[in-house]
Each structure stands twice: as C-alpha cells, then as structure tokens.
Amino acid sequence: MRQVGKILIIGLVVFLTIKLVDKPKTPDYPRIRVIASSNSDSDQKEKYQVVEEMLKIIDQNNYHNKLHDKTVQNRIKTEIEKRVSLKNNLTLTYQTLSYPAKTFGDKLIPGGKYETLIVQLGDAQGRNWWSILYPEYYGLSYEERLSFEEIKYKSYIYEKWIKGKNK
C-alpha cells in the first residue's frame, strides 16, 4: 500500500510540474532552420549572414505567418541572393519537422512537430541555426551542440527507488 501511495504522490508532483511550467504556445508560430554547407569557418560565416538578412527580410515584409507560401519563399530567396555574396546554392523548403523540448532561462519550449522554413546552403551538412517566430524567442539561436547519442538521461526516482531495490 505504501508503494501505491508513493507512486500517486510522484504522479501528482509530475503532473502539477508539467501543468505549472510557464511554456509558450508555439504551434501557431513557425520555426526557421538554416543549415550550413559544412562546419568550415567560411560556411558558418555564410550561414550567419543568411540568417541576419533573412530575419530582416521577414520583418520588413511582415512574412512571419506567410512562410508556407512558395511565392514568399521565392521572394526571400531572391532578396537574400541580392544582399549576400553566396558561394553555396540556396534552397528553401517548408515542411513539418520534429523538435526536442528545449529550455531557455525558466521557459520550456515544448518538443513536437512544427511547421518549419528550412534554408539549406550547399550540401547542408554543417551545423544548423534555428529559431522560433514566437515573439518572446524570435531571433534567438537554438543551435544543436550535442547529438542525442551524447546526452545521458538519468532519473532520480529510478536510480533511488527502483534500481536501488533491485540491488
């Protein structure tokens, strides 16, 4: 009976934590992902130049909720090509991608499937830059620094209660 009580308390704490976390509602706001051709310094520099100009173009033309439109994508591409001296080809597509949950300060950005404007430079094998067009996070970079294989997850509850009892 004590086990059931512990499990109920843990479940309640987890449920309340999830409900009370201040998380933005981002599904209506598309994400932007810019992928460099490679990880070379010049390709990374080019990526950041594209990001900087693209964000200006989106702001100046109020394209925030129009990125799914192929005509808008073509305008963005044409304008970037005018403003940035590119050494790599530029490709824009719009699709749904899966993202892991992220935290920024005390805010949780929920993981899930999100509409995304994907900007690929050249071979698109380099580090990527991504952001959400959600006003609070717009323009902030959430670059991937680690692969998921490098991250080790641990659970305090599992380590102390479940694994501890099997010793």
Report pTM: 0.64
150 belongs to a structural domain: no
What tens digit of pLDDT does each residue of 76-132 get? 999 999 999 999 999 999 999 888 887 767 777 778 888 899 999 999 999 988 776
Domain assignment present for residue 13? The answer is no
Residue 63 confidence (pLDDT) above 60: yes
Is the pLDDT score of 139 beyond 80?
A: no
Establish if 149 belongs to a structural domain: no
**Residue 105 lies inside a defined structural domain of this protein:** yes
What's the domain count of the chain?
1
Q: pLDDT (tens digit, 9 = 90+) per residue, 140-149?
A: 444 444 334 4
| Residue range(s) defining the domain that contains residue 97 | 31-144
Query: pLDDT band at residue 49, thresholds of 50, 70 and 90?
Result: very high
Nearest to 52 by CA among 115, 122, 139: 139
The answer to whether 16 and 100 have CB atoms below 8 angstroms apart is no
Within-domain flag for 160 = no
102: number of Cβ within 10 Å: 14
